């Protein structure tokens, strides 16, 4: 299943030095150009002026900048970095295709004392050579084990005997993460080994594409952790830590607007890592289940929404040829994908095997409990009437050709 983003002019790019991806989102019909950085600075300057005036009036102003309140406990952050940075590595890759040779870099971190390192799939995907650089500068060869492209996760491994004192990071439960809590990112942006940035968790429950810009669509990654801690090229695969030095996410992507980063980063939730660890330790490419359609959350549709006849659910815009969806009888809107118009003739998905499914994130979360080959009962509304379709799930495919229905 794919999700079209035809209303959001922003884009996701993966912060890995070897990847430069364009926005997967079409330009809106009537774009309004806003100089966001200038507006932000102007507002910031006004707020700062008011802040200083208030301090003068209250008699709190001082020439000593150190008296200003700190945004976080510096000693705590320094302690976390001292302990955690020993478990974070820089990953260098070589990708060779025929006579063409490319290099890339990213980050990763040890999850145990056996030499297993978690990183992003896009950091090591297609690499013919993988090396890791430890906190002390030592460079060690690594091998890629399992990967899950639809979750943008991969597991690589080094020989633990080649490291004298191997430190690993504990995985926290990301379902317990709260907005506003401390967020610390460690990685190697722009080849700068063991760099740290500090911010907060600025959002939870976010859904971002696993491979933005991929032709045919990209499977959403649900429950991503949003942060304002600075993420830059090379941070991909590094840990996002809480105030206890535990991993709450794997840094994966940033949001950009007009080609500029805007301080919004996303990390794959640690719960996804925990649930996939057994699969990633096997040297295969793990495939998530696939239905094969393009759709939108009805709650996000603005244009011609009244034609759908429902306030919640997933509106099916198109169905992939020879997909589980087409074989199971799912129907898409016959003109929506080519004209962006909505006729109301597409099916509305609202459940799987009795579980409510009202958004694409709901759909992915439910499907994550299934494997390719499993059969599901897909609840839809067609022409105002409820209907159940039997769908046999297939392995994920990105080469989708939509059919007119």
Residues 248 and 158 in one domain: no
Task: Assign 365 a pLDDT band (cuts: 50, 70, 90).
Answer: very high
Residues 324 and 368 in one domain: yes
What is the pLDDT, as a whole number, of residue 70?
A: 65
Residues 236 and 210 in one domain: yes
The pair of structure tokens assigned to 104 is 């890339």
105 is catalytic: no
Q: What is the extent of the structural domain holding 243?
A: 11-22+172-271
Q: Find the mean pLDDT for residues 379-383.
A: 96
Residues 348 and 266 in one domain: no
Tally the domains of the chain. 3
Q: In the predicted model, what is the mean pLDDT of the chain?
A: 83
Residues 240 and 186 in one domain: yes
What is the pLDDT, as a whole number, of residue 18?
A: 38
Residues 195 and 219 in one domain: yes
Residue 12, pLDDT above cutoff 90: no
Report if residue 148 sits inside a domain: yes
Report if residue 283 sits inside a domain: no
Pairing of strands 139-148, 129-133: antiparallel
Residue 380, pLDDT above cutoff 80: yes
SS (H, E, C) the chain: CEECCCCCCCEEECCCCCCCCCCCCCCCCCCCCCCHHHHHHHHHHHHHHHHHHHHHHHCCCCCCHHHCCCCCCHHHHHHHHHHHHHHEEEEEEEEEECCEEEEEEEEEEECCCCCEEEECHHHHCCCCEEEEECCCCCEEEEEEEEEEHHHCEEEEECCHHHCCCCCCCCECCHHHCCCCCEEEEEECHHHCCCEEEEEEEEEEEEEEECCCCCCCCCCEEEEEEEECCCCCCCCCCCEEECCCCCEEEEEEEEEEECCEEEEEEEEEEHHHHHHHHHHHCCCCECCCEECCEEEEEHHHCCCCHHHCCCCCCEEEEEEECCCHHHHCCCCCCCCHHHHCCCCCCCCEEEEECCEECCCHHHHHHHHCCCCCCCEEEEEEEECCEEEEEEEECEECCCCCCEECC
Which candidate, 306, 321, 315, places its Cα nearest to that of 405? 321
Catalytic residue among 147, 197, 218, 236: 236
Report if residue 73 sits inside a domain: no
| Least-confidence region, from 4-18, 56-70, 191-205 | 4-18
Cα 86 to its chain centre, rounded Å, is 25
Residues 300 and 382 in one domain: yes
- Residues 280-329 have pLDDT tens digits of 999 999 999 999 999 999 999 887 788 898 989 999 999 999 999 999 99
- Residues 205-219 have pLDDT tens digits of 998 888 765 555 678
Residues 178 and 158 in one domain: no
Residues 179 and 134 in one domain: no
- Residues 82-114 have pLDDT tens digits of 999 999 999 999 998 888 889 999 999 999 999
Residue 4, pLDDT above cutoff 50: no
Q: What percent of the chain has pLDDT over 70?
A: 80
Catalytic residue among 6, 12, 125, 152: 152
* CATH number of the domain to which 138 belongs: 2.40.10.10
* CATH number of the domain to which 331 belongs: 2.30.42.10
Residues 100 and 137 in one domain: yes
Which candidate, 202, 259, 299, places its Cα nearest to that of 3? 299
Query: How far, in Å, CA of 168 to CA of 201, rounded?
Result: 23
Report if residue 280 sits inside a domain: no
Residues 203 and 240 in one domain: yes
Report if residue 372 sits inside a domain: yes
What is the pLDDT, as a whole number, of residue 1?
A: 52
Residues 338 and 300 in one domain: yes
CA distances from residue 110 to 86, 146, 169, 176, 287 in whole angstroms, order as listed: 9, 15, 6, 22, 24
Catalytic residue among 5, 25, 116, 122: 122
Report if residue 99 sits inside a domain: yes
Task: Assign 402 a pLDDT band (cuts: 50, 70, 90).
Answer: confident
258 is catalytic: no
236 is catalytic: yes
What is the pLDDT, as a whole number, of residue 58?
A: 35
């Amino acid at each position: 299943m794919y999700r079209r983003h035809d209303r959001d002019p922003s884009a996701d790019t993966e912060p890995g030095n070897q990847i430069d991806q364009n926005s997967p989102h079409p330009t809106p019909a009537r774009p309004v150009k806003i100089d966001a950085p200038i507006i932000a600075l102007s507002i910031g300057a006004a707020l700062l002026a008011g802040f200083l005036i208030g301090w003068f009036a209250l008699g709190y102003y001082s020439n000593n900048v150190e008296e200003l309140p700190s945004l976080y406990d510096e000693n705590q952050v320094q302690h976390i970095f001292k302990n955690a940075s020993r478990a974070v590595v820089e990953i260098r890759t070589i990708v060779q295709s025929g006579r063409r040779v490319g290099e890339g870099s990213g980050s990763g971190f040890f999850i145990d004392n056996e030499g297993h390192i978690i990183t992003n799939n896009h950091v090591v995907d297609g690499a013919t050579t993988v090396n890791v650089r430890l906190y002390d500068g030592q460079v060690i060869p690594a091998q890629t084990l399992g990967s899950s492209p639809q979750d943008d996760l991969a597991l690589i491994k080094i020989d633990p005997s080649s490291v004298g004192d191997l430190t690993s990071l504990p995985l926290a439960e990301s379902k317990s993460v709260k907005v506003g809590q401390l967020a610390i990112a460690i990685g190697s942006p722009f080849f700068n080994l063991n760099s740290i940035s500090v911010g907060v968790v600025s959002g939870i429950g976010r859904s971002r594409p696993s491979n933005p810009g991929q032709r045919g669509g990209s499977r959403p990654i649900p429950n991503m952790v949003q942060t304002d801690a600075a993420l830059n090229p090379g941070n991909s695969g590094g840990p996002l830590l809480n105030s206890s030095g535990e991993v709450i996410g794997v840094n994966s992507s940033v949001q950009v607007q007009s080609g500029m980063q805007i301080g919004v980063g996303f990390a794959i939730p640690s719960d996804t890592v925990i649930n996939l660890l057994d699969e990633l330790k096997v040297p295969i490419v793990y495939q998530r289940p696939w239905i094969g359609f393009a759709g939108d959350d009805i709650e996000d549709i603005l244009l011609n929404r009244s034609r759908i006849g429902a306030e919640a659910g997933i509106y099916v815009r198109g169905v992939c040829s020879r997909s589980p969806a087409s074989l199971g009888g799912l129907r898409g809107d016959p003109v929506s994908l080519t004209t962006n118009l909505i006729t109301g003739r597409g099916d509305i998905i609202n459940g799987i095997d009795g579980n409510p499914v009202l958004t694409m994130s709901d759909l992915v979360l439910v499907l994550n409990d299934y494997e390719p080959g499993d059969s599901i009962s897909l609840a839809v509304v067609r022409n105002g009437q409820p209907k159940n379709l039997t769908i046999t799930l297939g392995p994920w495919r990105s080469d989708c050709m939509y059919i007119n229905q």
